[in-house]
Chain A
Amino acid sequence: MSNANVRPAVLIVDDEEMVVTSVRALLNLETDYDVHGFTDPEQAVTFLETHPVDVAVADYVMPKLNGIQFLAKSKLLQPEATRVLLTGYADKQSAIQAINELSLFQYLEKPWDNAALLLVLQNAIERAQLIRQLRDKIAELDAAHSDLKGVQTRLLRAFM
Protein backbone atom coordinates (compact mmCIF):
# COMPACT_ATOMS: atom_id res chain seq x y z
CA MET A 1 0.00 0.00 0.00
CA SER A 2 2.91 2.39 0.62
CA ASN A 3 4.34 4.17 -2.43
CA ALA A 4 7.93 3.83 -1.30
CA ASN A 5 8.92 1.82 -4.38
CA VAL A 6 6.86 3.69 -6.92
CA ARG A 7 8.16 6.94 -8.37
CA PRO A 8 5.70 9.83 -8.04
CA ALA A 9 3.90 10.52 -11.32
CA VAL A 10 3.42 14.05 -12.65
CA LEU A 11 1.21 14.93 -15.61
CA ILE A 12 1.84 18.26 -17.39
CA VAL A 13 -0.31 19.55 -20.22
CA ASP A 14 0.34 22.82 -22.11
CA ASP A 15 -0.40 23.51 -25.75
CA GLU A 16 3.09 25.06 -26.01
CA GLU A 17 5.68 22.32 -26.56
CA MET A 18 8.46 24.50 -25.10
CA VAL A 19 6.77 24.63 -21.70
CA VAL A 20 6.40 20.84 -21.53
CA THR A 21 10.05 20.40 -22.56
CA SER A 22 11.31 22.90 -19.98
CA VAL A 23 9.32 21.47 -17.08
CA ARG A 24 10.31 17.92 -18.02
CA ALA A 25 14.01 18.91 -18.12
CA LEU A 26 13.71 20.63 -14.73
CA LEU A 27 12.00 17.65 -13.11
CA ASN A 28 14.39 15.12 -14.66
CA LEU A 29 17.34 17.04 -13.27
CA GLU A 30 16.03 17.84 -9.80
CA THR A 31 13.66 14.97 -8.97
CA ASP A 32 12.97 11.31 -9.55
CA TYR A 33 9.37 11.92 -10.68
CA ASP A 34 7.90 10.12 -13.69
CA VAL A 35 6.95 13.00 -15.99
CA HIS A 36 4.13 12.59 -18.54
CA GLY A 37 3.91 15.58 -20.89
CA PHE A 38 1.09 16.40 -23.32
CA THR A 39 0.33 19.26 -25.69
CA ASP A 40 -3.15 17.88 -26.45
CA PRO A 41 -5.52 17.98 -23.45
CA GLU A 42 -7.77 15.27 -24.95
CA GLN A 43 -4.82 12.86 -25.18
CA ALA A 44 -3.97 13.74 -21.57
CA VAL A 45 -7.54 12.83 -20.52
CA THR A 46 -7.23 9.45 -22.29
CA PHE A 47 -3.95 8.85 -20.45
CA LEU A 48 -5.59 9.60 -17.09
CA GLU A 49 -8.22 6.91 -17.74
CA THR A 50 -5.62 4.18 -17.38
CA HIS A 51 -2.59 5.69 -15.59
CA PRO A 52 -2.76 6.91 -11.98
CA VAL A 53 -0.88 10.14 -11.30
CA ASP A 54 -0.12 12.08 -8.12
CA VAL A 55 -0.45 15.56 -9.61
CA ALA A 56 -1.92 17.05 -12.79
CA VAL A 57 -0.54 20.43 -13.92
CA ALA A 58 -2.39 22.28 -16.69
CA ASP A 59 -2.15 25.53 -18.60
CA TYR A 60 -5.36 27.58 -18.81
CA VAL A 61 -5.59 28.74 -22.42
CA MET A 62 -5.55 25.62 -24.64
CA PRO A 63 -7.47 24.53 -27.75
CA LYS A 64 -10.20 21.84 -27.43
CA LEU A 65 -10.29 21.92 -23.60
CA ASN A 66 -9.17 24.82 -21.46
CA GLY A 67 -7.25 24.18 -18.25
CA ILE A 68 -10.30 24.34 -16.01
CA GLN A 69 -12.31 21.96 -18.20
CA PHE A 70 -9.35 19.58 -18.32
CA LEU A 71 -8.82 19.63 -14.55
CA ALA A 72 -12.56 19.09 -14.01
CA LYS A 73 -12.31 15.90 -16.09
CA SER A 74 -9.18 14.84 -14.21
CA LYS A 75 -11.07 15.35 -10.93
CA LEU A 76 -13.75 12.92 -12.10
CA LEU A 77 -11.22 10.36 -13.30
CA GLN A 78 -8.75 10.65 -10.40
CA PRO A 79 -10.22 12.61 -7.51
CA GLU A 80 -7.23 11.92 -5.25
CA ALA A 81 -4.70 13.36 -7.65
CA THR A 82 -3.75 16.96 -6.83
CA ARG A 83 -4.68 19.66 -9.36
CA VAL A 84 -2.43 22.64 -10.24
CA LEU A 85 -3.15 25.42 -12.76
CA LEU A 86 -0.06 27.03 -14.36
CA THR A 87 -1.02 29.96 -16.52
CA GLY A 88 0.13 33.13 -18.29
CA TYR A 89 -3.41 34.42 -18.36
CA ALA A 90 -3.89 36.35 -15.13
CA ASP A 91 -7.61 36.52 -14.50
CA LYS A 92 -8.82 36.72 -10.91
CA GLN A 93 -12.30 35.47 -11.82
CA SER A 94 -11.13 32.24 -13.43
CA ALA A 95 -8.72 31.68 -10.51
CA ILE A 96 -11.53 31.89 -7.96
CA GLN A 97 -13.76 29.70 -10.12
CA ALA A 98 -11.01 27.10 -10.43
CA ILE A 99 -10.17 27.04 -6.75
CA ASN A 100 -13.80 26.62 -5.76
CA GLU A 101 -15.12 24.24 -8.41
CA LEU A 102 -12.09 22.02 -8.75
CA SER A 103 -10.63 22.15 -5.26
CA LEU A 104 -7.56 23.48 -7.01
CA PHE A 105 -4.45 23.00 -4.89
CA GLN A 106 -2.39 25.84 -6.33
CA TYR A 107 -2.64 28.54 -8.99
CA LEU A 108 0.75 29.52 -10.45
CA GLU A 109 1.40 32.37 -12.86
CA LYS A 110 3.84 32.29 -15.76
CA PRO A 111 6.70 33.04 -15.83
CA TRP A 112 7.19 30.76 -12.85
CA ASP A 113 10.07 30.43 -10.42
CA ASN A 114 11.69 26.98 -10.63
CA ALA A 115 12.17 26.67 -6.87
CA ALA A 116 8.53 27.62 -6.25
CA LEU A 117 7.29 25.12 -8.85
CA LEU A 118 9.39 22.34 -7.32
CA LEU A 119 8.05 23.11 -3.85
CA VAL A 120 4.44 23.15 -5.05
CA LEU A 121 4.88 19.80 -6.83
CA GLN A 122 6.52 18.26 -3.77
CA ASN A 123 3.61 19.36 -1.57
CA ALA A 124 1.09 18.28 -4.19
CA ILE A 125 2.57 14.80 -4.41
CA GLU A 126 2.74 14.47 -0.61
CA ARG A 127 -0.92 15.43 -0.39
CA ALA A 128 -2.01 12.88 -3.00
CA GLN A 129 -0.01 10.14 -1.33
CA LEU A 130 -1.39 10.98 2.12
CA ILE A 131 -4.94 10.87 0.78
CA ARG A 132 -4.33 7.47 -0.82
CA GLN A 133 -2.79 6.11 2.38
CA LEU A 134 -5.75 7.43 4.35
CA ARG A 135 -8.19 5.79 1.94
CA ASP A 136 -6.28 2.50 2.20
CA LYS A 137 -6.21 2.64 6.01
CA ILE A 138 -9.94 3.28 6.14
CA ALA A 139 -10.50 0.27 3.88
CA GLU A 140 -8.30 -1.83 6.18
CA LEU A 141 -10.20 -0.61 9.22
CA ASP A 142 -13.53 -1.39 7.56
CA ALA A 143 -12.31 -4.90 6.70
CA ALA A 144 -10.99 -5.44 10.23
CA HIS A 145 -14.24 -4.10 11.65
CA SER A 146 -16.39 -6.55 9.64
CA ASP A 147 -14.02 -9.38 10.58
CA LEU A 148 -14.49 -8.39 14.21
CA LYS A 149 -18.26 -8.29 13.82
CA GLY A 150 -18.14 -11.77 12.23
CA VAL A 151 -16.12 -13.12 15.20
CA GLN A 152 -18.50 -11.41 17.64
CA THR A 153 -21.56 -13.00 15.95
CA ARG A 154 -19.97 -16.51 16.05
CA LEU A 155 -19.03 -16.09 19.72
CA LEU A 156 -22.60 -15.05 20.62
CA ARG A 157 -24.01 -18.06 18.73
CA ALA A 158 -21.64 -20.35 20.61
CA PHE A 159 -23.25 -19.21 23.87
CA MET A 160 -26.88 -19.41 22.76
Chain B
Amino acid sequence: MPVHAEQTDYRDELLRLRSELEASTRVLVESYRMASLGRLVTGIAHEISTPVGSILCNNGVVLRSLELLRKLLSECSADSAPQLARAREIVETLHNLAAVDKLACERIAAVVPGLKTFARAEETELRKADLNQILRNTLALAQAQFRSRVSVETSLGALPEVECYPQSLHQVFLNLLTNAGQAIEGQGRVTLRTRLEGDHVRVSIRDTGSGIKPEHRSKIFSPGFTTKPIGLGAGLGLSIARQIVVDRHGGSIDFETECGVGTTFHVRIPVARLSNAPG
Protein backbone atom coordinates (compact mmCIF):
# COMPACT_ATOMS: atom_id res chain seq x y z
CA MET B 1 0.00 0.00 0.00
CA PRO B 2 1.21 3.52 -0.75
CA VAL B 3 0.95 4.76 2.86
CA HIS B 4 2.96 1.87 4.21
CA ALA B 5 5.62 2.35 1.55
CA GLU B 6 5.87 6.07 2.41
CA GLN B 7 6.36 5.29 6.08
CA THR B 8 9.16 2.91 5.20
CA ASP B 9 10.81 5.66 3.11
CA TYR B 10 10.59 8.17 5.97
CA ARG B 11 11.91 5.64 8.41
CA ASP B 12 14.86 4.82 6.15
CA GLU B 13 15.56 8.52 5.68
CA LEU B 14 15.47 9.10 9.44
CA LEU B 15 17.83 6.20 10.05
CA ARG B 16 20.20 7.52 7.41
CA LEU B 17 20.15 11.03 8.87
CA ARG B 18 20.71 9.71 12.36
CA SER B 19 23.74 7.75 11.28
CA GLU B 20 25.12 10.85 9.51
CA LEU B 21 24.57 12.88 12.66
CA GLU B 22 26.39 10.28 14.69
CA ALA B 23 29.32 10.37 12.30
CA SER B 24 29.45 14.19 12.41
CA THR B 25 29.31 14.17 16.19
CA ARG B 26 32.22 11.75 16.32
CA VAL B 27 34.25 14.04 14.02
CA LEU B 28 33.42 17.03 16.23
CA VAL B 29 34.38 15.24 19.42
CA GLU B 30 37.61 14.08 17.81
CA SER B 31 38.45 17.67 16.73
CA TYR B 32 37.84 18.90 20.25
CA ARG B 33 40.06 16.17 21.66
CA MET B 34 42.78 17.03 19.16
CA ALA B 35 42.62 20.72 20.11
CA SER B 36 42.99 19.91 23.81
CA LEU B 37 45.78 17.53 22.98
CA GLY B 38 47.46 20.24 20.93
CA ARG B 39 47.47 22.60 23.88
CA LEU B 40 48.80 19.92 26.20
CA VAL B 41 51.57 19.05 23.77
CA THR B 42 52.68 22.68 23.41
CA GLY B 43 52.96 22.92 27.15
CA ILE B 44 54.99 19.73 27.32
CA ALA B 45 57.34 20.76 24.52
CA HIS B 46 58.05 24.11 26.13
CA GLU B 47 58.36 22.64 29.60
CA ILE B 48 60.91 19.97 28.69
CA SER B 49 63.03 21.93 26.23
CA THR B 50 64.52 24.15 28.95
CA PRO B 51 65.68 21.46 31.41
CA VAL B 52 66.80 19.21 28.56
CA GLY B 53 68.80 22.10 27.13
CA SER B 54 70.45 22.56 30.48
CA ILE B 55 71.24 18.84 30.93
CA LEU B 56 72.60 18.53 27.40
CA CYS B 57 74.81 21.57 27.90
CA ASN B 58 76.10 20.30 31.25
CA ASN B 59 76.74 16.91 29.75
CA GLY B 60 78.88 18.50 27.05
CA VAL B 61 80.86 20.38 29.68
CA VAL B 62 81.32 17.20 31.75
CA LEU B 63 82.56 15.22 28.75
CA ARG B 64 85.06 17.91 27.82
CA SER B 65 86.23 18.31 31.42
CA LEU B 66 86.82 14.59 31.70
CA GLU B 67 88.87 14.66 28.50
CA LEU B 68 91.00 17.39 30.00
CA LEU B 69 91.32 15.45 33.29
CA ARG B 70 92.40 12.37 31.36
CA LYS B 71 95.10 14.39 29.64
CA LEU B 72 96.30 15.92 32.90
CA LEU B 73 96.47 12.52 34.60
CA SER B 74 98.49 11.05 31.75
CA GLU B 75 100.98 13.89 32.17
CA CYS B 76 101.44 13.23 35.92
CA SER B 77 104.67 11.65 37.18
CA ALA B 78 104.68 7.97 38.23
CA ASP B 79 105.27 8.80 41.93
CA SER B 80 101.82 7.96 43.22
CA ALA B 81 101.15 5.10 40.80
CA PRO B 82 98.29 3.27 42.63
CA GLN B 83 96.33 6.51 43.27
CA LEU B 84 96.89 7.64 39.70
CA ALA B 85 95.69 4.31 38.32
CA ARG B 86 92.59 4.56 40.51
CA ALA B 87 92.00 8.15 39.45
CA ARG B 88 92.25 7.16 35.78
CA GLU B 89 89.75 4.33 36.36
CA ILE B 90 87.28 6.73 37.92
CA VAL B 91 87.67 9.19 35.07
CA GLU B 92 87.04 6.36 32.56
CA THR B 93 83.85 5.30 34.35
CA LEU B 94 82.57 8.88 34.53
CA HIS B 95 83.40 9.40 30.88
CA ASN B 96 81.44 6.28 29.86
CA LEU B 97 78.43 7.35 31.93
CA ALA B 98 78.52 10.83 30.47
CA ALA B 99 78.68 9.39 26.96
CA VAL B 100 75.53 7.34 27.70
CA ASP B 101 73.84 10.44 29.15
CA LYS B 102 74.61 12.30 25.93
CA LEU B 103 72.75 9.67 23.88
CA ALA B 104 69.87 9.69 26.34
CA CYS B 105 69.56 13.48 26.19
CA GLU B 106 69.75 13.53 22.43
CA ARG B 107 66.86 11.08 22.27
CA ILE B 108 64.73 13.32 24.45
CA ALA B 109 65.81 16.39 22.53
CA ALA B 110 64.84 14.67 19.27
CA VAL B 111 61.25 14.39 20.45
CA VAL B 112 60.85 18.13 21.01
CA PRO B 113 60.72 19.30 17.37
CA GLY B 114 58.12 16.58 16.64
CA LEU B 115 55.98 17.78 19.54
CA LYS B 116 56.23 21.39 18.46
CA THR B 117 55.23 20.57 14.89
CA PHE B 118 52.25 18.56 16.11
CA ALA B 119 50.98 21.27 18.44
CA ARG B 120 50.73 24.24 16.12
CA ALA B 121 47.27 25.56 15.33
CA GLU B 122 45.47 24.65 12.11
CA GLU B 123 47.71 25.86 9.36
CA THR B 124 46.38 27.90 6.50
CA GLU B 125 49.52 28.60 4.51
CA LEU B 126 51.19 26.35 2.02
CA ARG B 127 54.88 26.09 2.78
CA LYS B 128 57.86 24.45 1.15
CA ALA B 129 59.09 21.61 3.32
CA ASP B 130 61.45 18.67 3.30
CA LEU B 131 59.27 15.57 3.65
CA ASN B 132 62.23 13.52 4.85
CA GLN B 133 62.67 15.89 7.78
CA ILE B 134 58.94 15.78 8.60
CA LEU B 135 59.15 11.97 8.57
CA ARG B 136 62.21 11.98 10.84
CA ASN B 137 60.39 14.19 13.37
CA THR B 138 57.31 11.99 13.17
CA LEU B 139 59.40 8.86 13.59
CA ALA B 140 60.98 10.28 16.75
CA LEU B 141 57.48 10.54 18.22
CA ALA B 142 56.24 7.19 16.91
CA GLN B 143 59.26 5.30 18.21
CA ALA B 144 58.02 5.89 21.74
CA GLN B 145 55.25 3.42 20.95
CA PHE B 146 57.45 0.96 19.12
CA ARG B 147 60.30 0.60 21.64
CA SER B 148 62.10 -2.71 21.13
CA ARG B 149 59.05 -4.53 19.83
CA VAL B 150 59.05 -2.99 16.40
CA SER B 151 62.23 -2.28 14.46
CA VAL B 152 62.33 0.52 11.92
CA GLU B 153 64.11 0.60 8.58
CA THR B 154 64.31 3.79 6.53
CA SER B 155 65.21 4.32 2.90
CA LEU B 156 64.87 8.04 2.32
CA GLY B 157 65.58 9.13 -1.23
CA ALA B 158 66.79 12.56 -2.32
CA LEU B 159 63.74 14.80 -2.39
CA PRO B 160 63.10 18.37 -3.49
CA GLU B 161 61.17 20.67 -1.18
CA VAL B 162 57.45 20.07 -1.51
CA GLU B 163 54.68 22.69 -1.35
CA CYS B 164 52.44 21.43 1.45
CA TYR B 165 50.88 21.89 4.88
CA PRO B 166 53.66 20.37 7.01
CA GLN B 167 51.70 19.84 10.25
CA SER B 168 48.87 18.13 8.43
CA LEU B 169 51.29 15.76 6.71
CA HIS B 170 52.97 15.18 10.06
CA GLN B 171 49.55 14.12 11.38
CA VAL B 172 48.99 11.79 8.43
CA PHE B 173 52.37 10.09 8.78
CA LEU B 174 51.99 9.79 12.56
CA ASN B 175 48.63 8.11 12.05
CA LEU B 176 50.02 5.66 9.46
CA LEU B 177 53.06 4.84 11.61
CA THR B 178 50.89 4.29 14.69
CA ASN B 179 48.58 2.01 12.70
CA ALA B 180 51.60 0.11 11.37
CA GLY B 181 52.88 -0.46 14.90
CA GLN B 182 49.48 -1.57 16.13
CA ALA B 183 48.98 -3.95 13.20
CA ILE B 184 52.07 -5.88 14.27
CA GLU B 185 51.37 -8.50 16.90
CA GLY B 186 54.51 -9.05 18.96
CA GLN B 187 57.78 -8.47 17.10
CA GLY B 188 57.92 -6.95 13.68
CA ARG B 189 59.34 -4.34 11.37
CA VAL B 190 58.16 -1.07 9.88
CA THR B 191 59.86 0.16 6.70
CA LEU B 192 59.74 3.81 5.65
CA ARG B 193 60.61 4.67 2.06
CA THR B 194 60.55 7.95 0.15
CA ARG B 195 61.19 8.49 -3.54
CA LEU B 196 60.78 11.27 -6.08
CA GLU B 197 58.60 9.97 -8.90
CA GLY B 198 58.32 12.55 -11.66
CA ASP B 199 56.21 15.44 -10.41
CA HIS B 200 55.31 13.93 -7.06
CA VAL B 201 56.89 12.34 -4.00
CA ARG B 202 55.91 8.85 -2.88
CA VAL B 203 56.05 7.98 0.82
CA SER B 204 55.61 4.25 1.56
CA ILE B 205 55.04 2.83 5.02
CA ARG B 206 55.18 -0.95 5.23
CA ASP B 207 54.49 -3.13 8.24
CA THR B 208 54.91 -6.86 8.87
CA GLY B 209 51.58 -6.97 10.66
CA SER B 210 48.47 -9.07 10.30
CA GLY B 211 47.23 -7.37 7.14
CA ILE B 212 43.77 -5.99 6.38
CA LYS B 213 41.00 -8.56 5.99
CA PRO B 214 39.34 -8.66 2.56
CA GLU B 215 35.93 -7.74 3.98
CA HIS B 216 37.40 -4.56 5.55
CA ARG B 217 39.44 -3.31 2.63
CA SER B 218 36.77 -1.14 1.05
CA LYS B 219 35.79 0.42 4.37
CA ILE B 220 39.04 1.47 6.02
CA PHE B 221 38.90 5.06 4.77
CA SER B 222 35.33 5.53 5.98
CA PRO B 223 34.88 7.76 9.01
CA GLY B 224 33.97 5.77 12.08
CA PHE B 225 35.25 2.45 10.78
CA THR B 226 37.60 0.80 13.23
CA THR B 227 38.70 -2.70 14.17
CA LYS B 228 40.18 -1.55 17.46
CA PRO B 229 38.35 -2.19 20.72
CA ILE B 230 36.16 0.64 22.03
CA GLY B 231 38.19 3.42 23.58
CA LEU B 232 41.33 2.77 21.58
CA GLY B 233 40.46 4.73 18.50
CA ALA B 234 37.51 6.58 16.99
CA GLY B 235 38.26 5.20 13.53
CA LEU B 236 38.83 8.67 12.10
CA GLY B 237 42.56 8.64 11.44
CA LEU B 238 42.45 7.26 7.90
CA SER B 239 39.41 9.26 6.79
CA ILE B 240 41.10 12.44 7.99
CA ALA B 241 44.36 11.29 6.40
CA ARG B 242 42.58 10.85 3.07
CA GLN B 243 40.99 14.30 3.39
CA ILE B 244 44.38 15.84 4.05
CA VAL B 245 46.22 14.00 1.28
CA VAL B 246 43.57 14.10 -1.44
CA ASP B 247 41.51 17.23 -0.76
CA ARG B 248 44.13 19.54 0.75
CA HIS B 249 47.18 18.38 -1.20
CA GLY B 250 45.82 17.01 -4.45
CA GLY B 251 47.64 13.74 -3.81
CA SER B 252 46.61 10.14 -3.41
CA ILE B 253 46.64 7.47 -0.73
CA ASP B 254 46.24 3.74 -1.27
CA PHE B 255 47.50 0.45 0.10
CA GLU B 256 48.52 -3.12 -0.65
CA THR B 257 47.87 -5.80 1.90
CA GLU B 258 48.18 -9.53 2.43
CA CYS B 259 46.81 -11.26 5.50
CA GLY B 260 49.54 -12.76 7.63
CA VAL B 261 52.24 -10.89 5.69
CA GLY B 262 51.64 -7.18 6.14
CA THR B 263 50.39 -3.94 4.67
CA THR B 264 52.01 -1.09 2.74
CA PHE B 265 50.45 2.36 2.54
CA HIS B 266 51.48 4.68 -0.29
CA VAL B 267 51.02 8.43 0.02
CA ARG B 268 51.72 10.53 -3.08
CA ILE B 269 52.10 14.29 -2.75
CA PRO B 270 52.63 16.54 -5.76
CA VAL B 271 55.83 18.57 -5.50
CA ALA B 272 54.14 21.77 -6.62
CA ARG B 273 50.51 22.70 -6.02
CA LEU B 274 48.78 23.78 -9.22
CA SER B 275 46.85 26.82 -8.05
CA ASN B 276 43.08 26.34 -8.11
CA ALA B 277 43.39 22.81 -9.39
CA PRO B 278 40.69 20.56 -8.00
CA GLY B 279 41.78 17.76 -5.62
- Chain A positions near chain B (C-beta within 8 angstroms): 16, 18-19, 21-23, 25-26, 29-30, 61, 88-90, 109-114, 117
Q: Which of A30, A88, A90, A113 contacts B50 (CB 8 A)?
A: A88
On whether the beta carbons of B58 and A25 are closer than 8 Å, the reply is yes
Residues on A with beta carbons closer than 8 Å to the beta carbon of B116: 90
The CA of A88 and the CA of B47, in the complex, are separated in Å by 8
Does B51 sit within 8 A of A, measured CB to CB?
yes
**Further contacts, 16 of them, CB under 8 A, given A23-B57, A90-B116, A110-B50:** A16-B54, A18-B51, A22-B54, A26-B60, A26-B61, A29-B65, A61-B46, A88-B53, A89-B46, A90-B45, A110-B52, A111-B57, A111-B112, A113-B56, A114-B61, A117-B57
Residues on A with beta carbons closer than 8 Å to the beta carbon of B52: 110-111
Q: Say whether, besides A89-B46, A111-B112, A22 and B64 are in contact (CB < 8 Å).
A: no
* CB nearest to A117 among chain B residues: B57
In the complex, chain B residues 24-79 whose Cβ is within 8 Å of any chain A Cβ:
45-46, 49-54, 56-58, 60-61, 64-65
The count of residues in chain B whose C-beta lies closer than 8 Å to any C-beta of chain A is 19
A138 shortest CB reach to chain B, Å: 39
Does B246 sit within 8 A of A, measured CB to CB?
no
* CB nearest to B56 among chain A residues: A111
Residues on A with beta carbons closer than 8 Å to the beta carbon of B152: none
Does B159 sit within 8 A of A, measured CB to CB?
no
* CB nearest to A86 among chain B residues: B53
Residues on B with beta carbons closer than 8 Å to the beta carbon of A109: 49
Q: Which of A18, A25, A111, A114 contacts B49 (CB 8 A)?
A: A111
On whether the beta carbons of A16 and B57 are closer than 8 Å, the reply is no
On whether the beta carbons of B53 and A112 are closer than 8 Å, the reply is yes
The CA of A117 and the CA of B57, in the complex, are separated in Å by 10
A16 shortest CB reach to chain B, Å: 5
Does B109 sit within 8 A of A, measured CB to CB?
yes
B41 shortest CB reach to chain A, Å: 12
* CB nearest to A19 among chain B residues: B54
On whether the beta carbons of B61 and A110 are closer than 8 Å, the reply is no
Residues on A with beta carbons closer than 8 Å to the beta carbon of B50: 16, 18-19, 88, 110
In the complex, chain B residues 111-135 whose Cβ is within 8 Å of any chain A Cβ:
112, 116
On whether the beta carbons of B54 and A114 are closer than 8 Å, the reply is no
On whether the beta carbons of B46 and A112 are closer than 8 Å, the reply is no
The 5 closest A-B pairs by CB, nearest first: A111-B53, A88-B49, A22-B57, A110-B53, A114-B60
On whether the beta carbons of A88 and B46 are closer than 8 Å, the reply is yes
Residues on A with beta carbons closer than 8 Å to the beta carbon of B46: 61, 88-89
On whether the beta carbons of B65 and A110 are closer than 8 Å, the reply is no
Interface centre among B45, B52, B61, B109 (most CB of A within 10 A): B61
On whether the beta carbons of B61 and A25 are closer than 8 Å, the reply is yes
* CB nearest to B106 among chain A residues: A111
* CB nearest to A92 among chain B residues: B120
The CA of A130 and the CA of B58, in the complex, are separated in Å by 31
The CA of A22 and the CA of B58, in the complex, are separated in Å by 6
The CA of A21 and the CA of B65, in the complex, are separated in Å by 16
The CA of A73 and the CA of B76, in the complex, are separated in Å by 51
On whether the beta carbons of A22 and B53 are closer than 8 Å, the reply is yes
On whether the beta carbons of A19 and B53 are closer than 8 Å, the reply is yes
Q: Say whether, besides A29-B64, A29-B65, A90-B116, A110 and B49 are in contact (CB < 8 Å).
A: yes
On whether the beta carbons of B53 and A26 are closer than 8 Å, the reply is no
The CA of A112 and the CA of B49, in the complex, are separated in Å by 9
The CA of A61 and the CA of B51, in the complex, are separated in Å by 14
* CB nearest to B68 among chain A residues: A29
Q: Which of B56, B65, B112 contacts A114 (CB 8 A)?
A: B56
* CB nearest to A87 among chain B residues: B49
24 contacts between A and B (CB under 8 A): A16-B50, A18-B50, A22-B53, A22-B54, A22-B58, A25-B57, A25-B58, A26-B57, A26-B61, A29-B61, A29-B64, A29-B65, A61-B46, A88-B50, A88-B53, A90-B45, A90-B116, A110-B49, A110-B50, A111-B52, A111-B109, A112-B57, A114-B57, A114-B61
